[in-house]
């Protein structure tokens, strides 16, 4: 939807805009000096869980993740809120508290924001981060021979849908999803930067398949995903098999089309989880294969898990599922 604006802001006229509309990435980056660039991003959405405080935490973690995916550190955030007139303001206070606690955990500060009246609650953050101009990490650096790591398991969309539909036994999977969505990707990003990875992005609304396709396109490589190696949240496969899939997953599949090549014999629930939109998902990391196990183990030791899910090969800019 933003592509028509590219003609209004030609990259040649904005040389300090290091990452912008010219290519799709996790955040915009503007060079301020030879030593400093500003990362700017924005994200907000309706409640995904019933508890207001937890919702605030998840929404904040989701917004902050885009700065980490660019290799930066968060410095400042502004609240973005839509809230019904007839809901108790104490609910909004709890949403704010959840977001504020997560921003404080990131070592940053909330400095204000904007609230409007709306029928449905919505909450998120506009986030500012910093990075050295030479240390920006993008989706476009993956190289043939790289390994692919994923720092969080898949299935949040399916599990949130199962909870909304009150499917029997959803509680265990939902609890695991909430814990995953609430966890910052900050420490994983620190370790990835130290390992001098080639490409980095976070997995969110376009699902693993969609974000892997962006890496393939921007890097000019084939991204190979090993279906059996994908980490899944508890009960995610079960509920996918029972039909607790999302409209967003179907749209992802339709929009990606031939950019993602899936074997006809692939199990349908696993394929659904490839396209499943993730809220506050993990980092997708491309790095030299001989350093992958060391980074995987370091992230797993801090975060509780990290998985080697594929590799980068020479070939057309598509995702090959094997």
Same domain, 126 and 100: yes
Token pair for residue 213? 């396709």
Whether 305 and 234 map to the same domain: the answer is yes
Residues 174 and 239 in one domain: yes
Residue that terminates a domain, selected from 91, 114, 135? 135
d(CA 312, CA 310): 7
- For the segment 80-100, the average pLDDT, to the nearest whole number, is 97
- Select from 135, 154, 186 the last residue of a domain: 135
- Phi/psi at 116 (5° precision): -125, 160
> In the beta sheet, which residues pair with residue 283?
202
CA–CA separation, 142 and 199 (whole Å) = 5
pLDDT at 198 over 80: yes
State the Cα–Cα distance between residues 192 and 296, nearest whole angstrom.
Answer: 9
What's the rounded Cα separation, in Å, for the pair 183 and 8?
38
Do 170 and 264 have their domain in common?
yes
Mean pLDDT for the chain overall: 96
Is there a single domain that holds both residue 144 and residue 239? yes
Residues 169 and 196 in one domain: yes
Q: Per-residue pLDDT averaged across 263-278, rounded? A: 97
Average the pLDDT over 9-15 and give the result. Answer: 88
**Both 125 and 151 in a single domain?**
no
- Please report the pLDDT score of residue 7 as a whole number: 77
Domain boundary at 135, 163, 197, which?
135
Q: Number of structural domains, the chain?
A: 2
Q: Which pTM value belongs to this model?
A: 0.95
Cβ(163)–Cβ(34) under 8 Å?
Answer: no
**How far, CA to CA in Å, does 274 sit from each of 74, 88, 155?**
29, 38, 9
At residue 5, does pLDDT exceed 90? no
pLDDT(10) > 90: no
Calpha distance 101→306 (Å, rounded): 25
The per-residue DSSP string of 281-294 comes to --EEEEEEHHHHHH
Coil, helix or strand at residue 176: helix
Instruction: Tell me, yes or no, whether 149 and 112 share the same domain.
Output: no
pLDDT per position as a tens digit, 227-255: 999 999 999 999 999 999 999 999 999 99
Show the domain range for 158. 139-321
Each residue's pLDDT tens digit, 281-315: 999 999 999 999 999 999 999 998 999 999 999 99
pLDDT one-digit tens code per residue, 69-83: 999 999 999 999 999
Q: Mean pLDDT over residues 33-51, rounded?
A: 97
Q: Which residue has the higher pLDDT, 195 or 2?
A: 195
Mean pLDDT for the stretch of residues 201-213: 97
Given a cut of 80, is residue 2 above it in pLDDT? no
Residue 9 has pLDDT above 90, yes or no: no
Tell whether 166 and 290 lie within a shared domain: yes
The model's pLDDT over 116-147, given as tens digits with 9 standing for 90+, comes to: 999 999 999 999 999 999 999 999 999 999 99
pLDDT-derived band at 319, boundaries 50, 70, 90: very high
The domain that holds 34 is classified in CATH as 3.30.1330.10
176 & 102 share domain: no
* Euclidean distance between CA atoms 260 and 319, whole angstroms: 5
* Same-domain status, 78 and 179: no
- End-to-end alpha-carbon separation of the chain, Å? 32
Q: Are residues 50 and 155 in the same domain?
A: no
Residues 127-136: b if buried by 16+ CB within 10 A, e if exposed: bbbbbebeeb
Give yes or no for a contact between 226 and 320, defined as CB atoms under 8 angstroms apart: no
In percent, the amount of the chain with pLDDT more than 70 equals 100
Domain of residue 201, CATH code: 3.90.650.10
For the record, the structure tokens of 88 come out as 């108790």
In the DSSP assignment, the letter for residue 34 is S
- Sequence length of the chain is 322
pLDDT above 90 (res 6) = no
């Amino acid at each position: 939807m933003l592509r028509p604006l590219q003609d209004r802001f030609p990259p040649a006229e904005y040389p300090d805009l290091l990452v912008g509309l010219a290519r799709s990435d996790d955040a915009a980056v503007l060079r301020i000096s030879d030593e400093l660039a500003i990362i700017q991003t924005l994200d907000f959405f309706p409640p995904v869980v019933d508890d207001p405080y937890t919702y605030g935490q998840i929404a904040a973690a989701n917004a902050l993740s885009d700065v980490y995916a660019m290799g930066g550190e968060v410095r400042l955030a502004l609240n973005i809120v839509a809230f019904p007139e007839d809901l108790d303001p104490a609910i909004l206070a709890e949403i704010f508290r959840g977001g504020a606690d997560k921003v404080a955990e990131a070592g940053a500060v909330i400095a204000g924001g904007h609230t409007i009246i709306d029928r449905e609650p919505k909450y998120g953050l506009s986030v500012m981060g910093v990075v050295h101009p030479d240390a920006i990490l993008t989706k476009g650096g993956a190289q043939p021979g790289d390994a692919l790591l994923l720092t969080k398991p898949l299935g949040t969309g399916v599990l949130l849908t199962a909870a909304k539909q009150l499917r029997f036994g959803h509680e265990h999977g939902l609890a695991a999803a909430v814990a995953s969505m609430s966890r910052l990707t900050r420490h994983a990003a620190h370790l990835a930067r130290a390992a001098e990875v080639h490409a980095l992005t976070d997995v969110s609304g376009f699902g693993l398949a969609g974000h892997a396709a962006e890496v393939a396109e921007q890097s000019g490589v084939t991204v190979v995903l090993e279906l059996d190696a994908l980490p899944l949240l508890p009960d995610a496969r079960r509920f996918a098999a029972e039909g607790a899939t999302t409209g967003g997953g179907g749209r992802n599949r339709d929009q990606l089309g031939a950019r993602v090549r899936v074997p006809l014999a692939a199990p349908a629930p696993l394929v659904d989880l490839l396209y499943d939109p993730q809220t506050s998902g993990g980092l997708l990391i491309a790095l030299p294969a001989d350093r992958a196990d060391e980074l995987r183990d370091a992230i797993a030791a801090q975060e509780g898990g990290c998985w080697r899910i594929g590799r980068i090969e020479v070939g057309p800019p598509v995702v090959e599922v094997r």
